[in-house]
Chains A and B, each alone.
Chain A
Amino acid sequence: MQIAMIDIAARKDAASPTVRLDAVFAALADPTRRAIIERLSRSDARVTDIAEPFPMSLNAVSKHIRVLEASGVVERRRQGRDHILSINPSSLDEIDGWIEGMRRFWEQRLDAMERLLHEIKTDHKSGPKDRKHGSR
């Protein structure tokens, strides 16, 4: 599996929130990586524990873990001989914030669309000749 590591790694250092957010979205764009995050959201875990349930080599899983680290979503610390992985919650907060903002925007727009549909229907009933140009 070909993963554009260098590009993603370069993004991690960039200060711009937009670029950082791009890296997080890129990291989350893969089902294996989302499964890893889902696992880590329950508890911190060793790299080998994370790799176990996946039907792929440890090496392949390690590549996914490195993409997650590069994006800042996952952090790694040493504990004796073990490498322990954990989630960096603030990286996911940014995603939540983005999604929440979009959702609010579209909820409000669809509300406005419903009001307009209602307005058009009411206009229609009152007769097209009264309101040739809509209802302003």
Chain B
Amino acid sequence: MDRDDATGPIVQLRRRLSAGAEQIFDLWTKPDLMVRWLSPFPGAVDCKASCDLRPGGAFSLVMTSADSSREVSGTYVQIDRPRKLVFTWIGPLTNHVTTLVTVELIPIGDQTEIVLTHERLPTPAMHEGHTKGWGHILDHLADAVSNDT
């Protein structure tokens, strides 16, 4: 377990990138840039991205090769350019279970540290039992979703 206390098992990666936070933020949120690095399939894959960049807005990535097609989608929870981006993520990799991705960008000189956290969202059972640590995220999510309707 990478992080303790408030949450269960998560995946967290940190990396220094030689670019500004704003440029990196754009790579995550502009469809024409998203398609250039988010597709995991090598070779001739047609990747289409669309996004509605506001809390509660949806994004999708559709990757099509000669013999298969995969889709990843999600909903933006928090958008704080260029510091933080939080969105849900559902796709084949997550077994089509809703997960949560948080991207934090911390400027360090002319570099930027990216901290990427990927976690499973609590199930209803978890939510009833222990909201600590998850509560504010779920509140955000609830706000985001209700703004949408």
Contact = CB atoms under 8 A, between A and B. Distances in A.
Interface of A: 1-4, 7-8, 11, 17-18, 21-23, 25-26, 28-31, 34, 67, 95, 98-99, 101-103, 105-110, 112-117, 120-121, 134
A108 B125 contact: no
A120 B13 CA distance: 23
B130 to A, nearest CB: 5
Contacts of A25: 8-9, 120, 122-123, 126
Interface of B: 1, 4-11, 13, 15, 17-19, 23-24, 27, 32-33, 36-38, 40, 93, 95-97, 114, 116, 118, 120, 122-126, 128-130, 134
B122 A26 contact: yes
Given A4-B128, A26-B122, A99 B17 contact: no
Contacts of B126: 4, 25-26, 29
B129 A4 contact: yes
Contact of A110 (B116, B123, B125): B116
A7 B116 contact: no
A110 B118 contact: no
A52 B17 CA distance: 47
B130 A103 contact: no
A11 B125 contact: yes
A103 B62 CA distance: 21
Contacts of B5: 31
Contacts of A120: 23
Given A26-B8, A98-B9, A112-B38, 4 more contacts: A3-B129, A25-B126, A110-B15, A117-B23
Nearest to A117: B19
B97 A22 contact: yes
Given A4-B129, A25-B8, A114 B17 contact: yes
Contacts of A116: 27, 33, 36-37
A62 B96 CA distance: 33
A102 B101 CA distance: 11
Contacts of B4: 31, 34
Contacts of A17: 95
Nearest to B117: A106
17 contacts: A3-B129, A4-B129, A7-B125, A18-B95, A22-B97, A23-B125, A25-B8, A25-B9, A25-B120, A26-B123, A29-B8, A99-B10, A99-B11, A105-B93, A121-B18, A121-B19, A134-B32
